[in-house]
């Protein structure tokens, strides 16, 4: 027997087995590296390599662990970033150089009332707004931060949005932009209110000042020698000086009520007595207009915690408005008070001409007038109902109006019985009316 041949064949077989094992291990090692390179890190690596390749196996496993850790960290950061973007009320989206949306938060969908995500569509396709497309394109082409405004007509209202477009590097040859959208509708509305307020105050001040100035010039030019004319001039000037004083007083009341800068002098007030005092102050105009004013109160305690002076001003303004703008034969005004849970409601109803529906949502605004020419003739400041609203709200209450043209008007003031109680305008109850007082000018 040739033992040398046998030994050689055995050695060759062992070497072949080792080569096959090493070659298989190398193949498994390459496959593991491909898995890591392709991001397939969900399963652990089970290579079972021969002893000589185990150092390489440990290195590959360490690389896989680090890649898994990095992938988890990146996923966590993406989730946190998406959560932050989703919680931001402003709209945020990114676009590429073709103005195609790459990302968008929920704020964008809510702002523009989109039924589906705009990602993957162009700006025009997603929002259907040419001005917005031009604005984003200008910001993208300019290469620097760019701002602009757009106006969007939506189902329930017209809204104004400010867009801030900033460059976003998506790669050396692929520029993009990030767009932040702010809803500035309220800011624009407040700016409009401010401009109108300044214009109205200027007008209200200018008219009496012009009249006073004109009469002063007349008196200075020799009018003092004509006593009847001088007396008439002085009377007109006093009237318009009073008008200026009322305007300044009304502006101060509104300012203090809105800013809560002056604390209310809270005391317990019987609304029956307060309403009587208010009606007594209008005894002369009630008689001159042959109007009828009735005070009616439901049974029970009608005492509230309030500032008597401010609350009296509320009902003075409401009654004055009813007399001034309801000036007609047979004018009747009813003041009715009742308790409604934690609140007391006071209803001021007249059978005057009523308020057009389109004006009702604006009548509590400063200087708003339903009949502008007639209001200026009667000498009103246009602040009465605004004072009513602000004083009532300062007490924690609310005021509502119900009216129809030709059918009169009803103002309902809801006041909390105690200042610690919350108030809501509850439906008007059908409580039994008692204790009616009738003030007739007929």
375 to each of 149, 250, 398, 411, how far by Cα in Å?
A: 38, 16, 25, 19
- Indicate whether 235 pLDDT > 80: yes
Domain 266-440, CATH: 3.30.565.10
Residue 311: closest CA among 281, 346, 283, 343:
346
Residue 246 has what pLDDT?
A: 76
β pairing state of 332-340 and 292-298: parallel
Q: Please give the residue that has the higher pLDDT: either 265 or 346.
A: 346
More confident residue, 348 or 87: 348
Residue 160 and residue 150 in contact, taking contact as beta carbons nearer than 8 Å = yes
Bridge-partner residues for 274, per DSSP? none
- Region of 11 on the Ramachandran plot (φ > 0 left; ψ -120 to 50 alpha; else beta): alpha
What's the pLDDT band for 433 if we cut at 50, 70, 90?
very low
List pLDDT tens digits, range 296-307: 988 888 999 998
Task: Give the pLDDT of residue 51.
Answer: 61
* Domain 88-183 fold: Beta-Lactamase (3.30.450)
What average pLDDT does this structure show over 375-391?
Answer: 70
Residue 381: pLDDT band with limits 50, 70, 90: low
Between 373 and 197, residue with greater pLDDT? 197
pLDDT at 66 > cutoff 50: yes
Please, what is the angle between helix 271-280 and helix 308-325, to 10°?
50
Q: Is the pLDDT of residue 428 over 70?
A: no
pLDDT band with cut points at 50, 70 and 90 for residue 431: very low
User: Which residue in 345, 293, 356, 300 sits closest to 320, CA to CA?
Assistant: 293
Structure tokens at 422: 């919350």
Class of the CATH domain delimited by 190-259: mainly alpha
Element (H, E) at 352: none
139-197 tens-digit pLDDT: 888 888 899 999 988 777 788 999 999 988 766 566 889 999 999 988 888 787 778 77
- Return the structure tokens found at 219: 């008196």
User: Collapsing DSSP states into helix, strand and coil, what is residue 19?
Assistant: helix
Q: What percent of the chain has pLDDT over 70?
A: 74
CA angle 250-276-283, nearest 5°?
Answer: 75
Task: Note the pLDDT of residue 43.
Answer: 56
pLDDT number for residue 179 = 93
C-alpha to C-alpha distance for 56 and 327, rounded to whole angstroms? 102
How far apart are the two ends of the chain, measured CA to CA in Å? 151
Q: Cα 268 to chain center, whole Å?
A: 35
- Measured between alpha carbons, how far is 152 from 131 in angstroms, rounded to an integer? 10
- pTM, two decimals, is 0.53
**Residue bearing the bigger pLDDT, 414 or 245:** 414
Spatial neighbors of 408 by CB under 8 A, at least 6 apart, are 326, 349, 350, 351, 352, 353, 354
- The pLDDT of residue 123 is 92
Minimum mean pLDDT range among 40-49, 62-71, 412-421? 40-49
**Who's near 268: CB < 8 A, 6+ residues apart?**
303, 304, 305
Write down the pLDDT at residue 6: 67
Identify the CA nearest to 319 among candidates 351, 370, 272, 282.
282
Which of 244, 232, 246, 318 minimizes the C-alpha distance to 275? 318
**Mean pLDDT across the stretch 333-355?**
91
**161 burial class (0-12, 13-18, 19+ CB within 10 angstroms)?**
buried
**pLDDT at 320 exceeding the cut of 70:** yes
Tokens of 102: 């790459």
The average confidence (pLDDT) of the chain is 79
Longest dimension (CA), the chain: 162
pLDDT at 436 over 60: no
User: Tens digit of pLDDT for each residue in 278-302?
Assistant: 999 888 888 888 889 999 988 888 9
Cα dist from 117 to 77, 98, 124, 377, whole Å: 22, 18, 14, 57
Query: Tell me, what's the pLDDT at 275?
Result: 93
């Amino acid at each position: 027997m040739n033992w040398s041949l046998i030994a050689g064949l055995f050695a060759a077989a062992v070497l072949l087995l080792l080569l096959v094992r090493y070659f298989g291990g190398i193949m498994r090692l390459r496959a593991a590296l491909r898995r890591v390179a392709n991001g397939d890190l969900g399963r652990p690596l089970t290579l079972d390599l021969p002893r000589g390749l185990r150092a390489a196996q440990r290195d590959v496993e360490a690389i896989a662990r680090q890649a898994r850790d990095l992938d988890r960290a990146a996923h966590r950061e993406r989730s946190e970033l998406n959560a932050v973007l989703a919680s931001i009320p402003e709209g945020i989206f990114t676009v590429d150089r073709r103005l195609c949306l790459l990302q968008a938060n929920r704020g964008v969908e809510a702002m523009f009332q989109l039924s589906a995500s705009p990602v993957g569509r162009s700006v025009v396709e997603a929002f259907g707004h040419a001005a917005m497309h031009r604005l984003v394109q200008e910001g993208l082409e300019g290469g620097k931060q760019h701002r602009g405004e757009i106006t969007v007509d939506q189902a329930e209202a017209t809204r104004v949005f400010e867009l801030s477009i900033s460059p976003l590097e998506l790669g050396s040859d692929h520029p993009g932009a990030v767009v932040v959208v702010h809803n500035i509708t309220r800011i624009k509305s407040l700016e409009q209110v401010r401009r109108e307020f300044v214009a109205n105050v200027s007008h209200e001040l200018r008219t009496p000042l012009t009249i006073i100035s004109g009469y002063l010039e007349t008196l200075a030019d020799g009018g003092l020698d004509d006593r009847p004319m001088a007396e008439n001039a002085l009377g007109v000037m006093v009237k318009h000086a009073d008008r200026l004083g009322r305007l300044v007083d009304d502006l101060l009341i509104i300012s203090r009520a809105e800013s809560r800068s002056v604390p209310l002098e809270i005391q317990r007030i019987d609304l029956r007595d307060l309403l009587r005092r208010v009606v007594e102050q209008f005894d002369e105009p009630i008689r001159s207009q042959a109007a009828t004013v009735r005070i009616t109160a439901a049974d029970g305690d009608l005492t509230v915690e309030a500032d008597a002076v401010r609350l009296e001003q509320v009902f003075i303004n409401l009654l004055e408005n009813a007399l001034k703008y309801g000036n007609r034969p047979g004018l009747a005004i009813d003041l009715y008070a009742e308790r409604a849970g934690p609140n007391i409601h006071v209803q001021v109803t007249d059978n005057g001409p009523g308020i057009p529906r389109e004006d009702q949502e604006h009548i509590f605004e400063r200087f708003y007038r339903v009949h502008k020419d007639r209001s200026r003739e009667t000498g009103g400041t246009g602040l009465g109902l605004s004072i009513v609203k602000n004083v009532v709200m300062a007490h924690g209450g609310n005021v509502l109006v119900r009216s129809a043209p030709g059918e009169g008007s009803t103002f309902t003031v809801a006041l909390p019985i105690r200042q610690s109680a919350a108030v809501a305008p509850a439906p008007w109850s059908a409580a039994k009316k008692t204790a009616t007082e009738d003030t007739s000018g007929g």
